[in-house]
Structure 1
């Protein structure tokens, strides 16, 4: 074995020992709070990927879409026939389109009832609160209401929250936070969103 191969082998042995130690130390079993935030593209797509994974194992999943519900969504269209998936949609569309605080608040509060029910149901393995960060930012939903629902949810239930500018206290509560960082976005160069790629 040449020197380079020996160095590689030693490096991989060290890495394996490190990974094995972390795996051995991970003893706790419970649901997680995951946050996908940041200005980059892919937060909702990542959440739908996890939904697909959970459904693949036969788990019950609830998705509540707070902003993009009236927009075409290839993932939702593909998965909504799965009997283990429940999707609830805030029926006003983008808040910058409606420009009506009272209507948007009422719509948010209505769909929140579905979210609250899912968050209290121990048979729901995964709940996705898609774009809920905007509901907090605009004051359509009180942070304490969300916090209490998250704290009191079933121990085995995982929740994914998506959206830009995640509330500081949400970030502190989370087990895993992923920040999507925009380096370049085709839309900013005048390229239209593409069906089957962007939505």
Structure 2
């Protein structure tokens, strides 16, 4: 343990770059958005201002929507028409994603640093479905303010997003209750 402590202390001492990071939560397992929302509350607890833009998810009421309303330091925008298998209207889905992306671009170009954390929930799916231009998204991410941290969630993160990210976590599904016929639980899945 003494050796481990010394190794960790040296890593901490040598970490000298101070800037916001880009985090990607991807994979087919549960917990991508939940992890991002946990970081939202950690950030709020440290006095940071947070913007959450939800792509894909529709107007149905979720637990995160209800709790975000209780915090002045969280700006929450739902920019999805719903799950694509429900809407069956690609043009509507694209327009909804573009609406949220316009807000995200404004935040990423804000030189006043109003927000210190931006969560782009399910943007990876919007990119995989080609609702957004991957080149534009990568360019905006690459030019974000140094003070801004960004979390991108959703399955099928494009390789270009993974490459530009500082931290990437892949959630792997080993087992999921839905696969056994158990319906989504209020407060757990939504």
What's 1:8 paired with? none
1:137-170 deviation per Cα after TM superposition (whole angstroms, max 9, x unaligned): 1111001111121111111100000011100011
* Structure 2, unaligned runs of 5 or more: none
How far apart are the structure 1 equivalents of 2:62 and 2:81? 16
How high is the TM-score relative to the length of structure 1?
Answer: 0.91
Please state whether the residue corresponding to 2:132 is helix, strand or coil: coil
Match of 2:94 among 105, 113, 116: 105
Identify the match of residue 138 of structure 1 among 121, 124, 129.
129
Paired with 1:149 and 1:81, the residues of 2 have a C-alpha distance of 30
Aligned to 2:169: 178
CA-based RMSD: 1.1
**Residue-by-residue CA offset, 1:22-64 (whole Å, 9 max, x unaligned):** 1111111000000000000000000000000111111110000
Q: Render the CA deviation track for 1:105-156: whole Å, top value 9, x for unaligned.
A: 1111112111111222222100000000111111110011111211111111
Distance in structure 1 (CA, Å) of the matches to 2:173 and 2:101: 29
Determine whether 1:150 maps to 2:141: yes
Q: Could you tell me how far 1:74 is from its partner in structure 2?
A: 1.2
Aligned residues: 188
In the TM superposition, what are the counterparts of 1:21-170 in structure 2 within 5 Å? 21-121=10-110, 122-170=113-161
Counterpart of 1:169 in 2: which secondary structure?
A: helix
User: Matched residue of 1:170: which SS?
Assistant: helix
Of structures 1 and 2, the larger Rg is shown by 1
Gaps of 5+ in 1: 1-11
Q: Which SS does the other structure have where 1:76 is aligned? A: helix
